[in-house]
Every structure is written in C-alpha cells, then in structure tokens.
Amino acid sequence: MKKLLITKVLPDATLDAAHARFNVTLRNETKGLSVAEAAAALRDYDAILPTLGDTFSAEAFTGDIRCGVLANFGVGYNHIDVAAARAAGVAVSNTPDAVTDATADIGLTLILSVCRRAGEGERILRAGQWKGWQPTQMLGTHATGKTVGIVGMGRIGQAVARRCHYGFGMPVLYFNRSPKSVDLPARQVDSLHDLMAQADIIVVTVPGGGSNTNMIDAAALAAMKPTGIFVNIARGDVVDEDALIAALQDRRIAGAGLDVYAKEPLVPESLRALENVVLLPHLGTAALEVREAMGQMALNNIIAWDEGRPLPQAVTS
C-alpha cells in the first residue's frame, strides 16, 4: 500500500476515500510545509496531496526523491515549481473544473458587497450606530448595467462574465495575453491599460506566480476610473498590494473586494483599516460539496498515477 501524505485536514469524505486506498499520514496543522518539510516529504512518501501554503519550490526537489506525484488540492499551483518537479520525475496535477462556479460566485459576492457597501453597512449596524433609513444613507454604486472588465478569460473569468452579463446586464470586456474566443457577448481589448481604463468594475482571475506577479501594479491601478471597483479572486501575488492600498487610501478608486492576499494569512493593518474595501478570508471554494469534489479529483489523480495511467488533470506548464 503506497504511503500518502495529506498536508492539511480535508473533508471527511476525502479522508475516508484516501484511507480506503492508501497508507495515509494526515498533517494536522494550518501552517503550510516549509521548503525543508517539503523536501523531507518528497523523500519519505510515495504520493503527496498538497495545497496552498505548501512550499514546493525548486530547493525542495534536491536529494533523494521517493514521491511520484503531487496532486494539488486547488486550481492554483504557484506554490509548486512545476519545472523542478518535472525534472525530478514528479508528476503534478490540480483541480481546475471543480472550483470554477464556486470561485465565480465569490467574485459576484465581492462585486455586490463593494458596490452596495455591504461590509461597511454591517459594521455600522453591529456597532449600534444605525440611525434608521434615510434617503441619502450610504449611497453606493448600482451594479446593474455597469461595464465589467475581466483580467484573464479562462474558466473562472468566463463564469464571472456570464453571471455579470446574463444576471446583471453588464457589458463585458476582457484582457487575455493571447486571442481568446468565448461563447457569450464580450469584447477582447488589446491591453491591460485599456481594460482598466474602460471598465467600471475590474475582476482579476488569472493564475498566480510567474509573469503574472504584480501584474496589477501602480500604473494599472492609475488607469482605473475614480469610480472604479477592483475585485481580486485570483492569487494575492497578482496585485502590488502596497499600490492597491495607496489607491484606496487616496480614494483614487472607489473601492475593492479581496478574497486573496500577497502573504496569506497576513493581511496588512493598513488594508484592514480601510472602509472602502471588503475583505474575505480566501473563501473562493469554501462550500462543502465543492471541497469534497476537489478532494476526490485530487485522489483520482493519485489513483491514476498508482495504476500507471495518465493523470486526468495533469499540469503540463
């Protein structure tokens, strides 16, 4: 029976399925694997089911390696050096399809929460500061009909676009590094600057890491309308967090909604102090049935590896 390391506690259904097939070690900690711990795991286990926060950098893939597969729990894998894994003979998979709708739903949650100042309103009410309904009380942005700009028109970007267009009558613009055809009314723009300047609401859905690091920098944010809303449901490292904080502090953009951060779980105090930002604790896929589906998908990739079959969700780039 192959030795499997699961780096964080997963839903019971996933753990039960794993125990039925493998000799499982469950790491009961919230902090991710360090580089040294990742290297030790690669040496000691046949298969590993890692997730966000585990540091499988190039340095981890040195020395003796027993592990044959990293079946990542999550669609994002910027915490894994895929090239180093491949060179070491370690296959890598992720869980792309299982997360699409849930992550897009969080995108809409943030759009509406920022536009209608829901977080600020709840804080006022809970603090006992609400004085009753008034015609000019907490006026926000009417989301219906606003132009949404999607940064990265992959599965999640398209799911957000469909919700915005068909649910809220929003014209859809998008920026993609390569030409991309989609099956909904939407227009691709030539540059990120053009998208940031033209859209009322920006939603970022690109993968993290690599050339996307700090893709949304000070210049990109400066191109936005003063009434613009910025939403990030991608990865925290896609955004220059200091530049975003400065734009929000100076009211150069109207507001932001964030589900991810540059140094999770650290969220800067200067960001937490702002009223014009809605902050969620990385809830993108936080629904039980979604997490169960992610866990089973990750296990299916490990089982495929164990049986000598191609990984169904192999990461190839």
In the chain the domains, ranked by start, together with CATH numbers, are 3-94+287-306 (3.40.50.720), 100-279 (3.40.50.720)
Q: How far apart are CA 176 and CA 183, in angstroms?
A: 15
Cis omega (within 30 of 0) for bond into 265: yes
Catalytic residues: 235, 264, 282
pTM of the complete model beyond 0.85: yes
- The per-residue pLDDT for 317 is 77
Q: What is the pLDDT of residue 115?
A: 98
> Is residue 243 helix, strand or coil?
helix
Average pLDDT over residues 198-211: 94
- DSSP assigned state of 254: S
Averaged over 7-19, what is the pLDDT? 97
Q: Which residue has the tokens 């809409």?
A: 108
Looking at residue 293, its pLDDT comes to 97
pLDDT at 244: 98
Tokens of 91: 């296959």
Band of residue 238 on the pLDDT scale cut at 50, 70, 90: very high
Tokens 């014209």, residue located: 171
- The predicted-structure confidence for 91-144, as pLDDT tens digits, reads as follows 999 999 999 999 999 999 999 999 999 999 999 999 999 999 999 999 999 999
Give the model's pLDDT for residue 81.
96
